[in-house]
Amino acid sequence: MAKWNVEDQGIQYSIEYKRGFTGGKIIVNGSEQKVKSQNAFLNLIDFPIRLKEKAVNVVVIGNKADLAVDGIYLGSNQPYVPVSKAPGWSWAFVVVSLVIGWLFAGIFGLCLGILGSMFYVKSSLSLHQTINRRVVSCFIVFFIISIVQIVFGLAANYWINTL
């Protein structure tokens, strides 16, 4: 659960995010709104809230929730970037990482792929690094995760065949 307090024109707003299996709930001053993830494998939510003067977005990537108020994340002080603006190359890393994980290591590999996917999306939306640096950091994480997935899958297959 994540909770924030925001003041707008002298009115105090209490904003909460409660995580659920396929999304979660966003509660603004006791008023509850169910939200669903924008992705089947990764908890990905970008929910806009309009207060009197302030534009507020609850953004959830994986298990990390943050609140963007007037274009700035409260948790990291980074500029807000809509989740829908995640570039195609980050989704390519997500898909390939999940496929490699599932094919070579089953559910364990899929879980590693999901962890990597959170990094790929979050990193691709980070504006404090150049695009080249974001791609390289995602590639390095992808390479490491893929090696672990493949080695685990081959070791498990070898172990099963020796029984």
Residue 132 has pLDDT above 90, yes or no: yes
End of a domain among 48, 83, 118?
A: 83
Q: What is the pLDDT of residue 134?
A: 94
Same domain, 55 and 67: yes
**Residue 61 domain boundaries:** 2-83
Separation CA 12–CA 95 (nearest Å): 42
Among 66, 83, 100, the domain-final residue is 83
Q: Both 98 and 73 in a single domain?
A: no
66 and 6 within one domain: yes
Q: Are residues 152 and 124 in the same domain?
A: yes
Using the 3D structure, point to which of 31, 55, 83 is the last residue of a domain.
83
Please report which confidence band the pLDDT of residue 23 belongs to, taking 50, 70 and 90 as the band edges. Answer: confident
Q: How confident is the model at residue 151 (pLDDT cuts 50, 70, 90)?
A: very high
pLDDT tens, residue by residue, 39-87: 887 889 999 998 999 999 999 998 899 999 999 999 888 899 999 889 9
Q: What is the mean pLDDT of the chain?
A: 92
| Predicted pLDDT of residue 63 | 85
74 and 6 inside one domain: yes
Number of domains the chain is built from: 2
Angle at which helix 131-161 crosses helix 88-125, to 10 degrees, equals 110
- Pair 122, 99 in one domain: yes
Q: Are 21 and 34 within one domain?
A: yes
- Please identify which residue in the block is written with the tokens 């980074």: 78
Exposed, middle or buried, 40 (CB in 10 Å: 0-12/13-18/19+)?
A: exposed
Q: In terms of domains, do 129 and 157 share one?
A: yes
Residue 160 CA to residue 163 CA, distance in Å, equals 6
Given a cut of 90, whether residue 133 has pLDDT beyond it is yes
